Amino acid sequence: MHVEWARPVGEGPFATVVVHPEAGARAVDMRGVAWDLARHGYLSAAIDYERLENGRYRHTLFPWREEGDPVVCLDVVRAAALVDRGRIALLGFSQGGVFSLLIAAQTPDIRAVVAYYPVTDFEHWLNDPSYGTFRRMVFWFIRRHFKKVSGASSDEDFSRILEMASPLAQAESISAPVLLIHGTRDRSAPIEESRRMERRLRELGRDVRLLEVDGAGHVFNFKEGDADQARRAWDETLRWLDAHMSR
């Protein structure tokens, strides 16, 4: 794990937000997010992961193999003297949103989660029956690539890894309030991924909200030209954190 910290002014301990970047990004790429959280009074810890494979550390879509792997990052965060261990939230973008939801499923004392445009059911996402012929072909190659990078030893093992990586399969274990943020024109992770997650959490009686950002695509808040949409989503993120992280 690599951790990038940003601290607010003051003595602490501070309410802390663990930040996970999208696939292909690193903790260092979250500095803008981390600094703004610090400006609003939150200690932030942006984290990325590598796995040791064939003698080399690599970033991977599936960094975790065992059930307890996702929560190891919290051991690191909680060990820091400036962290208020009773006020920890999780914030993630795309793959980072997936990670945040999965960590919450194993950590009942997490105070809040904000997940931007996550895939919540990998099996469904890879085999969505609504896809047209061309999209099904594209996702056949994506599935093949995912199986390779997952290190799965068989189709059965790959199915197990996909389920372990799917927040929807872990929804019953998520007790923290969850804010989902998703663009309505997301072609990488269709908004239905968040809609299904919201419905399931609502069925379970959880505190959940889905902010649908009209016309926005994937990672819209890190792209030029989407400043208004990004501002709206970030303002809602801060409101959610403030509402659930107060003493």
Q: How far is CA 239 from CA 106, 110, 127, 232, in A?
A: 24, 17, 35, 11
The percent of residues in the chain predicted with pLDDT above 70, rounded, is 100
Average pLDDT on 106-132 reads 92
Give the H/E segment covering residue 45. Answer: strand 43-48
Average pLDDT on 5-23 reads 95
Residue type, 206: R
- SS3 for 58? strand
pLDDT category, 131, cuts 50, 70, 90? Answer: confident
pLDDT category, 62, cuts 50, 70, 90? Answer: confident
Number of neighbouring beta carbons within 10 Å of residue 108: 10
- SS3 for 72? helix
**Tokens representing residue 49 in the block:** 């992961």
The percent of residues in the chain predicted with pLDDT above 90, rounded, is 67
How much is the pLDDT for 59? Answer: 72
Query: Which is more confidently placed, 134 or 31?
Result: 31
CA distance 178 to 186: 20
Query: Which is more confidently placed, 127 or 110?
Result: 110
pLDDT category, 149, cuts 50, 70, 90? Answer: confident
- pTM more than 0.85: yes
Residues in the chain, overall count = 247
Sign of the dihedral through C-alpha 219, 131, 159, 108: positive
